[in-house]
């Protein structure tokens, strides 16, 4: 029977016990302090405002010219391997035009085009049909600063504020980024919140099957102010397991120029774009 809306009789004791279990579970569960939530929201905002000063539109597209250098030999001297032009259109359309300059490498002085559209990738060498194609790896390239590309899996990212510190006479904020949709990937990024640019990031490198995961570290420098007021790093040094492996150097950067989707077609015009 019912009494005052409460079950009585044989079911009364089990219901009290269940309620007690729930109360104990709540009492012993981790408690998130309000200040922790606020700090983690600050971390998310730091990431979302990269390259976007107050009053400016986020980066919708980008054109950057430059060169790529790779470390060679036991001493690891940097040698130019390509003249480059990078095209990006939000959220994840990429085109890299490379002309090889290292006589020790194949395809020297030949245009090498890579296109990624978020679903597939295509590589063209000297012809207007792909020499190779496959599934887009959906990994942000080192050729662009951290991190302009966005993929569907990135919507589940989690941000954690790790504190502030001094970096070459400036104050930077350190944030950690995790992604339940991409559990093999983690990142810690150091951000100059005044200029809204990253100065360093550390990633987990997903290793080949059977090998231990490695660490990649990218350090950005030579930060310059663009005509629209935003700042952009013109140099990136890339380390794998603390060994310098390559460098990216920009010669010119233009942002939000209105790139057309046709630039990222699977069959592009194999010529240098202005």
User: What average pLDDT does the segment 83-87 reach?
Assistant: 95
> Tens digit of pLDDT for each residue in 18-73?
443 334 343 333 444 456 789 999 999 999 999 998 889 999 999 999 999 999 98
Structure tokens at 60: 């919708």
The number of residues making up the chain comes to: 274
The 10 Å CB-count burial string (b at 16+, else e) for 143-175 is bbbbbbbebeebeebebebeeeeeeeeeebbbb
Identify whether 116 is preceded by a cis peptide bond (ω within 30 of 0): no
- Span 220-250, pLDDT tens digits: 999 999 999 999 999 999 999 899 999 999 9
Look at residue 144 and give its three-state secondary structure.
Answer: coil
**pTM of the entire predicted model:** 0.80
What would the pLDDT profile of 89-119 be if each residue is shown by its tens digit? 999 999 999 999 988 877 788 889 999 999 9
Assigned CATH for 57-264: 2.50.20.10
Q: pLDDT digit string (tens) for 140-187? A: 888 888 889 999 999 999 999 999 999 888 999 999 999 999 888 899
Residue 209 CA: distances (Å) to CA of 137, 213, 250: 16, 10, 34
Domain ranges of the chain: 57-264
C-alpha to C-alpha distance for 182 and 240, rounded to whole angstroms: 20
pLDDT of 131 strictly over 90:
no
């Amino acid at each position: 029977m019912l009494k005052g809306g409460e079950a009585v009789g044989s079911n009364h004791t089990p219901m009290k016990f269940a309620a007690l279990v729930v109360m104990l579970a709540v009492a012993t569960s981790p408690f998130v302090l309000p200040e922790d939530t606020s700090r983690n929201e600050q971390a998310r905002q730091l990431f979302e405002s990269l390259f976007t000063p107050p009053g400016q539109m986020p980066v919708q597209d980008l054109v950057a010219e430059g060169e790529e250098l790779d470390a060679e030999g036991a001493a690891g001297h940097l040698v130019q391997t390509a003249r480059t032009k990078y095209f990006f259109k939000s959220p994840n359309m990429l085109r890299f035009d490379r002309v090889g300059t290292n006589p020790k490498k194949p395809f020297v002085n030949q245009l090498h085009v890579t296109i990624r559209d978020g679903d597939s990738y295509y590589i063209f060498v000297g012809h207007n049909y792909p020499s190779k194609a496959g599934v887009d790896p959906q990994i942000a390239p080192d050729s662009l600063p951290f991190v302009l590309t966005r993929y569907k899996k990135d919507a589940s990212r989690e941000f954690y504020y790790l504190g502030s510190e001094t970096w070459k006479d400036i104050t930077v904020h350190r944030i950690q980024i995790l992604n339940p949709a991409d559990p093999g990937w983690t990142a810690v990024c150091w951000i100059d919140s005044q200029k809204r640019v990253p100065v360093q990031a550390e990633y987990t490198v997903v290793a080949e099957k059977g090998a231990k995961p490695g660490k990649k570290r990218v350090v950005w420098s030579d930060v310059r102010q663009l005509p629209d007021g935003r700042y952009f790093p013109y140099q990136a040094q890339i380390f794998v397991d603390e060994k310098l492996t390559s460098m990216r150097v920009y010669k010119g950067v233009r942002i939000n120029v209105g790139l057309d989707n046709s630039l990222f077609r699977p069959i592009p015009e194999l010529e240098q774009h202005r």
